[in-house]
Structure 1
Amino acid sequence: MVSAERPMPSEAGILQFMDICDSFYPPDAVTASITQQRQWYDALCARFDRPLPEGMETSDGFVAGTIPIRRYRPANIRTATMLLYLHGGGFVVGSLDSHHAICAEIADHAGAELISVDYRLAPEYRWPVQTDDCFGVLKQLLAEKKSVVVVGDSAGGNLAAGLVVRAKAENLSGIVGQILIYPALGGDLVSGSYQEMADAPGLTTADVAYYRRILQAPEGDPVSGPLALSSVQGFPPTFITVAHYDPLRDDGRNYAARLAQAGVEVWFREEPQMVHAWLRARHMSEGARAGFAAICAAASRFADAR
């Protein structure tokens, strides 16, 4: 059970979700070995696994010969635009299996083919291996003249935002939208939600600091921390959703504000009763269900725009 001293939501569904999470993945999990963290995380993901939508086809393969991917093809495809999904997990845990049902459901709702990337993890592989793996897949899709919507949650939201930065720097066209789900974008760790929600359930500020130490990305790099960008002019339409009870909350808030000030088309949601990683609660929490519906609507909107 989460400590009563922590900032706490009150929605019954998310409280039940938090109890289940704690039973599989202890609040102090980052103090365990990497192997143990991954075992706990895999068990947690399996607990929340779901049957795939009817008619969904999946296949595993490689891009550029070495980067593992999983392709999701829904029964009813309405658009040629591709969705590119980058999973969360602090750059330390997560895989093609960890977000399997999530990817399938987004693809099904959007009527779009989706590719999930099994980028290499830290600490075995440090920055910039993770972004390079994902960028390799993106460049392959763009070279095939695909329109792409990049999507990511948490660490994956960081990677998705970084791909947009890299594509802009290299004058690559074809990204028609980005969907950032409680993303880590390089905030200062000491102010705003990093202070207010330092001990929030699901993710603490100390956890964020731990993942940064593991990754070893350079501070101030606009790819690893897009909040450091000097300009976001010309970025694609963007949907950002954050959880109120999350130290990463203000990363998403502040980035949305930066994009809006630069004239970028932005949709922003703050889920008032949600905690970090609420995507997994989408079938048991009213707030998570509504938040997930908004993500799927954004994916449909961006994918149908081309």
Structure 2
Amino acid sequence: MKPDYDTLIDPATWAFIRATDAAYPPDTATLSIADQRAIYDRMCRAFHRGYPPGVTANDRPFGGVPCRHYPGSDATVIYFHGGGFVVGGLHSHDDICAEIRATCGFHVVSVDYRLCPEHPHPAAFHDALAATRAISATLSHPILLVGDSAGGNLAAATAHATRGEALGVAGQILIYPGLGGNKDTGSYLTHATAPMLTRDDVLFYASIRHAGTEPAPDPSFVPLCDHDFNGLPPTLAIAAECDPLADDASTYAARIIAAGGKAHAVTEPGLVHGYLRARHSVPRAKASFARITAAITAFAAGEWPYGDRS
């Protein structure tokens, strides 16, 4: 049965969707890559809320990867931005990172990984690894891996690849991540035509990422295909209810729990893909952002705020 988005999505979120569509039309994925990036950057700038008082930033490389560092203390958040591995960069999630810095007080480093199609997989993954290792060697421990959408994929892939390394990773927070779930079942079908992101969009960006030739099952590409979920850091996986990617978060958390690890999944009711940009205008998004920063703070302190493992 097709979801009734008029009922599921509240008026504040609909206003956010309309504002986004006005700046980033739903057919943008059919345009050239250069046009997509320009439109996405303008849209993100339209939602940019500036820096909270006392927050500064400087651009510097880590591990040869361009990054933006928001200086803090005590711990370090490594942030991987969303954008389908095609759009986005240091500017698109600038104010989000600044607000994480202001709320948690920690160092925040946003990673400007290489984008597709110019740099197909595994370029972004290699950048994520190089930056994470260099940041861990330079800034305060513990380390928190955080990412939204495509960035959630990179955060998880990095966590899988660096198990056993002494990087000080204390947790990962994955925000409406695309982790490689079955695109022919569950939320991929139920929310195939959701506002903000459709199943067709997911397939389009996936095809660009692997340059037309899908690689063999590889957790650096799709973390859900890993056969080993042992040894992963405490995880919060957050989904937007009205999103074809929604099931990936809960499926991933369940695999960590089944392996004896700590994971907690949240599906945010009535929210849509990309809702971080609505954290100042939509109460549900504001509450979710508070959940994210609370998890970052708790994981950095070695705390597990969710009772038992789940």
In the alignment, what sits opposite 2:68?
70
CA distance, structure 1, for counterparts of residue 194 and residue 302 of structure 2 = 37
Query: Counterparts of 1:280-299 in structure 2 under 5 Å?
Result: 280-299=277-296
SS in 2 for 1:124: coil
Deviation at 1:70, TM superposition (A): 0.3
Say if 1:112 and 1:303, in contact at 8 Å, map to a contact too.
Answer: no
Deviation at 1:178, TM superposition (A): 0.3
CA distance, structure 2, for counterparts of residue 18 and residue 252 of structure 1 = 22
CA distance, structure 2, for counterparts of residue 94 and residue 104 of structure 1 = 16
SS in 1 for 2:248: helix
Point out which structure has higher relative CO (alpha carbons under 8 A, 6+ apart).
Answer: 1
CA distance, structure 2, for counterparts of residue 186 and residue 62 of structure 1 = 29
In the alignment, what sits opposite 1:214?
208
Poorly superposed stretches of 4+, deviation over 6 Å: none
CA distance, structure 2, for counterparts of residue 214 and residue 54 of structure 1 = 39
In the alignment, what sits opposite 1:192?
186
CA distance, structure 2, for counterparts of residue 91 and residue 104 of structure 1 = 22
Say if 2:3 and 2:190, in contact at 8 Å, map to a contact too.
Answer: no
Deviation at 1:304, TM superposition (A): 2.3
SS in 2 for 1:50: coil
CA distance, structure 1, for counterparts of residue 4 and residue 112 of structure 2 = 33
Deviation at 1:173, TM superposition (A): 4.0
CA distance, structure 2, for counterparts of residue 150 and residue 267 of structure 1 = 15
The TM-score with structure 2 as length reference comes to: 0.92
In the alignment, what sits opposite 1:279?
276
SS in 1 for 2:173: strand
CA distance, structure 1, for counterparts of residue 205 and residue 291 of structure 2 = 28
Give the aligned residue type for 1:166: A
Deviation at 1:5, TM superposition (A): 8.6
Deviation at 1:172, TM superposition (A): 4.1
SS in 2 for 1:15: helix
In the alignment, what sits opposite 1:265?
262
Say if 2:68 and 2:111, in contact at 8 Å, map to a contact too.
Answer: yes
In the alignment, what sits opposite 1:143?
137
Q: Does 1:25 align with 2:24?
A: yes
Aligned CA RMSD, in angstroms, stands at: 1.7
Measured against aligned partners, the alpha-carbon deviations of 1:233-282 in whole angstroms (never above 9, x if no partner) come to 12111111100000000011100111122222222211111000000000
Give the aligned residue type for 1:147: P
CA distance, structure 2, for counterparts of residue 121 and residue 196 of structure 1 = 29
CA distance, structure 2, for counterparts of residue 253 and residue 305 of structure 1 = 22
In the alignment, what sits opposite 2:161?
166
Deviation at 1:6, TM superposition (A): 7.4
In the alignment, what sits opposite 1:234?
231
Structure 1 spans left out of the alignment, 5+ residues = none
Say if 1:176 and 1:303, in contact at 8 Å, map to a contact too.
Answer: yes
Q: Does 1:152 align with 2:150?
A: no
Measured against aligned partners, the alpha-carbon deviations of 1:70-92 in whole angstroms (never above 9, x if no partner) come to 00125xx4x2x211000000000
2:171 to 164, 174, 177: 177
The TM-score with structure 1 as length reference comes to: 0.93
Measured against aligned partners, the alpha-carbon deviations of 1:173-193 in whole angstroms (never above 9, x if no partner) come to 411100000000001211000
Say if 2:104 and 2:296, in contact at 8 Å, map to a contact too.
Answer: yes
Q: Does 1:16 align with 2:10?
A: no
In the alignment, what sits opposite 1:58?
57
Q: Determine what percentage of the aligned residue pairs are the same residue.
A: 42
CA distance, structure 2, for counterparts of residue 209 and residue 277 of structure 1 = 17
Give the aligned residue type for 2:71: R
Say if 2:3 and 2:191, in contact at 8 Å, map to a contact too.
Answer: no
Give the aligned residue type for 1:138: T
Say if 2:9 and 2:271, in contact at 8 Å, map to a contact too.
Answer: no
Q: Does 1:300 align with 2:297?
A: yes
Change (3 A) 1:16 1:51: same
Say if 1:110 and 1:303, in contact at 8 Å, map to a contact too.
Answer: no
Say if 2:62 and 2:135, in contact at 8 Å, map to a contact too.
Answer: no
Deviation at 1:209, TM superposition (A): 0.6
